[in-house]
């Protein structure tokens, strides 16, 4: 076997082993979780609002809604900030300044989520409780923290897609007499749309998957929040908070929660793929 | 066959983002080089490697020590006991782990731990194991120290925690909404609270859920309108334990059996304990061990020391 061939096989082996780990994890989650979903009934499991595992009630609807609400909240906070920051870095700031700001954004991505959670718990939650009322542990606190946590994803991918645009787009627009702002708003942003949308979807995936920080600041009540100041529980925090004591059906129900999460994340990633392909044309 | 060199994949034509995903044409390439030419052995080898590493990871058990695992309510007390025990038994090592009552009992059954800690009685399915009560613990209903309320009736507690009563003024408190704080499903403390206080009423789903005694204490000490429940041994000056039916939550009242929200802490064994396990259990049940537990706020399993003239308010064991 030539050296070339040998290396090729070696890398293939490495690639396959990482894929097989994914396959094993998926397999395990499904084997553990799916029987319970069948036992309870897909409808009851997905749309039930009562979660009392010790009494055999397994309804995760409030958590599905909790996940979506917190994620949407995070996007409302994170997308304008993130895309704005990407435009700023790409178009409105001299290169040296951008070069200084970019590592800081990367640093934001490197902060462990437990630190975000701790900061939220110690700073945001008391502020919300004092000035807005309620327990403080709330959808609002969760959305704000998550919004900050997804910023690095949105900024770096949006910036990349803005930078990847051909110079001619900008030059053409400017030479036709468009102002800088018109060029950004009418030409550059629409042209980079697919990349920006994909960055938002990946940010969404990050938001849905976040666990530690959310356990700390959402309050984890199993309820449909009626206001931004109410506590809620997401799919991930349901697993995180209850796994310590769960046995039997309860444990399987947590894996089943994982199955639902798996489908949601897969759907989001497929969406991101579709959008990025579209950009390629 | 068309080669896809690493440089060619990074065609930054329009959109740098695409690099995150493997382009379609490269996927085809991977399939044709690998699986088609019958190199299943590579795949198998990968699995074998994975299996071997999982197996090795599974085999790594702490050797030469006693593993005690289970309830997070018992954990801090077991740590105190283990520390004292190890001071006097130089060579022996005791490892204390959390995980929860059920997980601890499960670990004893599978042999992953030598001793299980449980903060609830064994269920009928668990009766094949041996359980020794090492202490009794009371569950205290706690509020913020600034809360003027000193006492609640059983009925009020039920109504508050089941969500029927949502404002403090309905139970004679200030004009504010009640923030409920509870433990998660499956927790021994929650189970005991449900069993001892709530009876058939369910704990409201609107309650905030925290996954440890300490976290509940933190939330209650931060929020002036909150109410929660934790081990009496963990009540400190940051929170206030309210009386139930006029009986204050004190060690004295637990011993007099007037404060009734009490549960046993168990050590669980698979079979009759031996060697280190036996010595540790003996130590825990000895006067020295029990004294340590009492200092930490628990109630001893030993009968109160014989001559009890009401001289000292809090007699030692």
Out of A24, A233, A245, closest to residue B101 by CB:
A245
The first and second tokens of residue A67, run together, are 């996940």
Q: What is the pLDDT of residue B309?
A: 47
The first and second tokens of residue A93, run together, are 């700031």
ipTM over 0.85: no
Decide if pLDDT at B315 tops 60: no
Q: Which of A244, A250, A252 to mutate to test the interface with B (most CBs of B within 10 A)?
A: A244
Question: Could you give the CA distance from residue B136 to residue B299 in angstroms, rounded to a whole number?
Answer: 5
| Distance (Å) from the alpha carbon of A249 to chain B's nearest alpha carbon | 11
Q: What is the pLDDT of residue B317?
A: 35
Q: Do A13 and B186 touch (CB under 8 A)?
A: no
Backbone angles phi, psi at B157, to 5 degrees: -60, -45
**A211 neighbors A236 (Cβ within 8 angstroms):** yes
Question: Could you give the CA distance from residue A84 to residue A154 in angstroms, rounded to a whole number?
Answer: 10
Instruction: Please report where in the chains the tokens 């919300």 appear, as a residue.
Output: A128
The DSSP output letter for A184 is I
Instruction: Report the alpha-carbon angle A233-A236-A237, nearest 5.
Output: 45
Residues 128-167 of B with CB under 8 A from A: none
Out of B14, B45, B103, closest to residue A244 by CB:
B103
Residue A280 touches chain B, beta carbons under 8 Å: yes
A3-60 pLDDT, tens per residue? 889 999 999 999 999 999 999 999 999 999 999 999 999 999 999 999 998 888 999 9
Q: Which of B175, B185, B212 to mutate to test the interface with A (most CBs of A within 10 A)?
A: B185
pTM of the model: 0.75
Out of B16, B33, B223, closest to residue A161 by CB:
B16
Out of B103, B208, B225, closest to residue A221 by CB:
B208
Q: Do B211 and A241 touch (CB under 8 A)?
A: yes
A248-274 pLDDT, tens per residue? 888 899 999 999 999 999 998 898 888
């Amino acid at each position: 076997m030539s050296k070339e061939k040998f290396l090729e096989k070696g890398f293939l082996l490495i690639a396959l082993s990482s894929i097989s780990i994914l396959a094993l994890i998926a397999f395990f989650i499904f084997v553990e979780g799916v029987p319970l979903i069948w036992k309870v009934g897909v409808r009851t499991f997905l749309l039930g609002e009562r979660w009392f595992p010790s009494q055999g009630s397994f309804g995760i609807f409030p958590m599905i809604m909790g996940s979506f609400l917190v994620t949407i909240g995070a996007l409302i906070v994170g997308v304008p900030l993130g895309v704005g920051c990407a435009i700023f870095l790409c178009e409105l700031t001299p290169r040296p300044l951008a070069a200084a700001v970019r590592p800081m954004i990367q640093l934001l991505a490197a902060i462990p989520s437990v630190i975000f959670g701790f900061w939220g718990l110690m700073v945001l939650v008391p502020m919300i409780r004092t000035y807005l009322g309620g327990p403080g542990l709330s959808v609002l606190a969760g959305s704000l923290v998550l919004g900050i946590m997804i910023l690095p994803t949105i900024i770096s991918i949006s910036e990349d897609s803005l930078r990847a645009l051909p110079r001619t787009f900008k030059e053409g627009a400017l030479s036709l007499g468009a102002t800088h702002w018109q060029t950004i708003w009418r030409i550059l942003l629409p042209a980079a749309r697919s990349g920006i949308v994909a960055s938002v979807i990946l940010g969404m995936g990050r938001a849905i998957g976040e666990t530690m920080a959310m356990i700390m600041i959402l309050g984890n009540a199993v309820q449909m929040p009626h206001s931004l100041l109410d506590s809620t529980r997401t799919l991930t925090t349901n697993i995180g908070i209850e796994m310590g004591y769960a046995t039997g059906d309860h444990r399987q129900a947590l894996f089943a929660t994982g199955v639902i999460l798996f489908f949601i994340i897969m759907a989001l990633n497929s969406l991101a793929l579709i959008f990025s392909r579209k950009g390629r044309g | 066959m068309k080669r896809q060199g690493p440089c060619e994949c990074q065609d930054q034509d329009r959109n740098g983002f695409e690099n995150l995903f493997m382009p379609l044409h490269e996927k085809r390439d991977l399939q044709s080089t690998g699986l088609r030419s019958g190199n299943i052995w590579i795949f198998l080898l990968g699995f074998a490697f994975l299996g071997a590493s999982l197996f090795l990871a599974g085999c790594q058990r702490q050797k030469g020590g006693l593993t005690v695992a289970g309830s997070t309510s018992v954990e801090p007390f077991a740590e105190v006991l283990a520390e004292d025990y190890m001071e006097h038994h130089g060579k022996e090592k005791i490892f204390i782990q959390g995980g929860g009552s059920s997980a601890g009992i499960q670990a004893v059954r599978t042999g992953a731990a030598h001793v299980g800690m449980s903060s609830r009685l064994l269920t009928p399915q668990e009766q094949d194991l041996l359980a020794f009560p090492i202490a009794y613990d009371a569950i205290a209903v706690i509020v913020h120290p600034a809360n003027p309320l000193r006492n609640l009736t059983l009925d009020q507690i039920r109504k508050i925690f089941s969500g029927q009563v949502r404002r403090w003024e309905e139970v004679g408190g200030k004009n504010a909404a009640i923030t409920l704080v509870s433990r998660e499903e499956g927790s021994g403390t929650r189970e005991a609270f449900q069993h001892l206080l709530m009876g058939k009423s369910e704990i409201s789903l609107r309650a905030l859920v925290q996954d440890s005694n300490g976290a509940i204490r933190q939330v209650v000490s931060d929020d002036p309108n909150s109410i929660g429940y934790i081990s009496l041994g963990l009540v400190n000056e940051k929170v206030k334990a309210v009386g139930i039916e006029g009986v204050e939550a004190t060690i004295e009242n637990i011993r007099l059996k007037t404060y009734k929200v009490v549960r046993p802490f168990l050590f669980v064994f698979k079979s009759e304990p031996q060697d280190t396990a036996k010595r540790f259990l003996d130590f825990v049940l000895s006067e020295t061990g029990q004294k340590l537990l009492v200092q930490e706020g628990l109630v001893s399993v030993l009968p109160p020391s014989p001559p009890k003239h009401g001289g000292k308010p809090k007699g030692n064991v």
